Amino acid sequence: MKLMSKIQLAIAFPAGFLVVVGLWSTWGFWKINHQVATIYDDRVVPLKQLKIISDEYGLDVVDQVNKVHAGTISLNQALSNIKAAQKKIEENWKAYRQTYLTEEEEKLAAQAEQLFKAANAQISEILVALASGNAAQVAQFDGPLYQYIDPLSAKIQQLSDLQLEVAQEERAKATGIFLLMTSVLIVLSVATIVIVLLPIRLFVNRLIVATLRDTVNTVAQTSTEIATATEEQERLAERQASSVNKTTTTMDELKISSQQSAQQAFTAAQGAQQVLQLSHEGRQAVAQTLAGMEDLKEKVGSISSAIAFLNQQLSQIDTYQQVVAEIADQTNMLALNASVEAVRAGEQGKGFGVVAAEIRKLAEGSKQSAEKINNLVAEIQRAFTNTVKATQSGSQTVEEELTGLQNMAATFSSVANAVDEVAVSVQQISLNAKQQAVGVEQVVDEMNLLNQAAAQTASGITQTKVGTQKLNEKANELKAMV
C-alpha cells in the first residue's frame, strides 16, 4: 500500500467521527433555533394581537359611546370609528386562531368567542342607533355596555397570561436543549482527543518512519547509479559542444558574405525603384496636362457657343429696335395729326394740343434712343466677330498642343513599362538575396542556440553530477539517522 493511501486511511476514521459530531451539533442548533422561533411566532406575536383586541373593545368602542353621550363627537364619526374597530378586532382574532394553541388555550379561546357574540350583539345595536341618528338611544348604552366588555377583557387577559406561561415553558425547553448540546459536545471533544487522535499519532509515526527508511535506501542506491551515468554524459557533452562550436564559426563567415550580397541587391533595387517612381511621376504630369488641355478645349468650345448665342440675341435686339423706331415714327405722326385737330378745335382743343406735343417729344426721344441702341448693337456685333475669330484660333492651338501631349504621354508610358519590368526583375533578385541572407542568418542563430544548449547541457550535467554526489551524502546521513 502507498504512503498516501495509508495516511488517508489513518485520517478517514477521525474525519468520519468529526462529521458525526458536526451533524449532531447542526441538529442541536436547528432545534434551539426552532424553539426560539416558536416562542416568537406562537407566543410574542399572539400577545400583541390579544392586546390590540382588548384595546379596540375597551378603548375604541366604549370610548366612542362615551363621547357620543358627552356630545364631543358626531354620530357619523362614531359610527365610522366603531366599524373600523370591529374590522381590526376580526382580523387580529382570525390571525390569533391560526397560531399554535395548547389545549388550555383552545378552551379559553372558545369561551372568549362566546363573550364576543354577546358583546358584538350590543355593538350591532349601537351601530343601528348611530345609523338612525338617535343620540338618546346611543346614550342608553353608556354604562350597561361595560357588563359585556369587562368579562371579555378579563378572558383576553387570561389568554395573555397563559401565553406568558407557555412562553416560559418553551424557553425552559430551549435552555434544556442548549445544556444537553453543550454537555454532549464536551464529551465528544474529550473522546476525540483520547480515543482517536492519540492512537492515530502513534500509528502515523510508525507508518511514516518505516516508509521513510525504505525510501532512503532506494534514494541512496539510485543516486550512486545516476552519478556513474552522469560522468559518461559529461564526456559526450564536451565533445558535442566542440563540434558545434566549429560549425558555428563557418556559418558566421557565410552569414557575412550573404548579407553583403543582399545589401548590394537592395541598393540596385532602390535605384530601379527611384527610376520607376520618376517615370510614373512624369506620366502623371503629362496626364494632368492632357486633362488640363482637354478642359481648356471644352471651355474654349463653350465660349464659342456662348458668343454665337449672344450674337443671335443681338440680332433679335436689332429687330426689336427697328420695331421700336417704327412705333416712334407712327407715334410722332399720330401726335402731329392730333396737334392739327387740336388747332381746328380752337379754344376747346388747347389741352389736347399740349398732350399731343408731349407725346411727339416722347416719340422723338424714343426714336433717338432706338438709333443709339442700333449703334451699340452694331459695335457689340463687331466685337463678337473678333472674339469668335480669336476663340477659333485658340481652339486650333489647343488641338495642336493636345496632339503633342498625347504623343508625349504614349512615349512616357512606353518608358515606364520598360522601367517597370527592369524594377520588377531587380526587386526579385534583391528579394531572393534577402531571403538567402535571412535563411543563413536563421541557420546561424540556430547554431548559436545549439552551441548554447550544448554548453548548458555540459554545465547542467556537471551540476547534476555535483548534486548527485551531495544527494548521495545526504542519503547516507539520513540512512544513519533512521
Q: What is the mean pLDDT of the chain?
A: 75
What pLDDT is attached to residue 367?
A: 76
132 with 269, same domain: the answer is no
Sign of CA dihedral 144, 147, 152, 153: positive
How many whole angstroms from its chain centre is CA 260?
55
165 with 271, same domain: the answer is no
Report d(CA 341, CA 337) in Å as an integer: 6
Q: Which of 266, 267, 285 is nearest to 277 (CA)?
A: 285
Which of helix, strand or coil describes residue 482?
coil
Q: C-alpha grid cell for residue 283?
A: 506620366
pLDDT at 272 over 80: no
Residues 416 and 280 sit within 8 Å (Cβ to Cβ):
yes
155 with 50, same domain: the answer is yes
241 with 111, same domain: the answer is no
pLDDT at 18 over 80: no
pLDDT at 81 over 60: yes
What pLDDT is attached to residue 289?
A: 73
What pLDDT is attached to residue 93?
A: 92
Instruction: Report yes or no on 226 lying in a domain.
Output: no
Q: C-alpha grid cell for residue 366?
A: 424714343
Q: Domain boundary residue among 190, 217, 244?
A: 217
Task: Out of 17-21, 133-137, 313-317, 373-377, give the one with best mean pLDDT.
Answer: 133-137
- Stated as kind and residue range, the H or E segment containing 31 is helix 3-39
Q: What is the mean pLDDT of residues 80-87?
A: 89
Residues 130 and 138 sit within 8 Å (Cβ to Cβ):
yes
User: pLDDT of 444-482, one tens digit each?
Assistant: 687 678 777 767 766 776 777 677 777 677 767 766 765
pLDDT at 299 over 80: no
Q: What is the mean pLDDT of residues 435-441?
A: 72
Q: C-alpha grid cell for residue 344?
A: 381746328
Report d(CA 232, CA 237) in Å as an integer: 9
Work out the pLDDT band at 278, boundaries 50, 70, 90. confident
The CATH number of the domain holding residue 466 is 1.10.287.950
Residues 230 and 222 sit within 8 Å (Cβ to Cβ):
no
209 with 317, same domain: the answer is no
Rg, C-alpha atoms of the chain? 64
The CA distances from residue 192 to 17, 26, 35, in Å, are 8, 18, 29
249 with 103, same domain: the answer is no
Which of helix, strand or coil describes residue 200?
helix
Work out the pLDDT band at 120, boundaries 50, 70, 90. confident
Q: What is the mean pLDDT of residues 62-73?
A: 83
pLDDT at 271 over 60: yes
Q: Which of 142, 149, 146, 153 is nearest to 66 (CA)?
A: 142
Instruction: Report yes or no on 224 lying in a domain.
Output: no
What pLDDT is attached to residue 32?
A: 67
Percentage, residues of the chain above pLDDT 70: 69
pLDDT at 280 over 60: yes
Q: Which of 449, 418, 389 is nearest to 275 (CA)?
A: 418
Q: C-alpha grid cell for residue 469?
A: 554526489
Q: Domain boundary residue among 184, 217, 250?
A: 217
Task: Out of 85-94, 216-225, 338-347, 454-463, give the one with best mean pLDDT.
Answer: 85-94
DSSP class of 95: H
Sign of CA dihedral 162, 164, 168, 171: positive
pLDDT at 35 over 60: no
Which residue has better confidence, 106 or 411? 106
The CATH number of the domain holding residue 99 is 1.20.120.1730
What pLDDT is attached to residue 11?
A: 64
Which residue has better confidence, 5 or 249? 249
How many residues comprise the chain? Answer: 482
Report d(CA 253, CA 440) in Å as an integer: 10
26 with 151, same domain: the answer is yes
Percentage, residues of the chain above pLDDT 90: 1
Instruction: Report yes or no on 105 lying in a domain.
Output: yes
262 with 409, same domain: the answer is yes
Instruction: Report yes or no on 222 lying in a domain.
Output: no
403 with 352, same domain: the answer is yes
Q: What is the mean pLDDT of residues 35-46?
A: 67
Which residue has better confidence, 29 or 174? 174
3-state helix, strand, coil in the chain (%, to 5): 95, 0, 5
Q: What is the mean pLDDT of residues 64-83?
A: 86
Q: Which of 85, 152, 94 is nearest to 119 (CA)?
A: 152
pLDDT at 103 over 70: yes
263 with 188, same domain: the answer is no
| Structural domain containing residue 333 | 231-481
User: pLDDT of 211-255, one tens digit each?
Assistant: 666 666 776 677 677 667 667 766 765 776 676 677 667 667 766
Instruction: Report yes or no on 439 lying in a domain.
Output: yes
Which of helix, strand or coil describes residue 420?
helix
Q: Domain total for the chain?
A: 2
Report d(CA 236, CA 457) in Å as an integer: 10
Cα end-to-end distance, the chain, whole Å: 21
Q: Domain boundary residue among 217, 240, 271?
A: 217
433 with 294, same domain: the answer is yes
**DSSP-assigned letters across all residues of 65-78:** HHHHHHTSS-HHHH
pLDDT at 266 over 80: no
Instruction: Report yes or no on 311 lying in a domain.
Output: yes
Instruction: Report yes or no on 223 lying in a domain.
Output: no
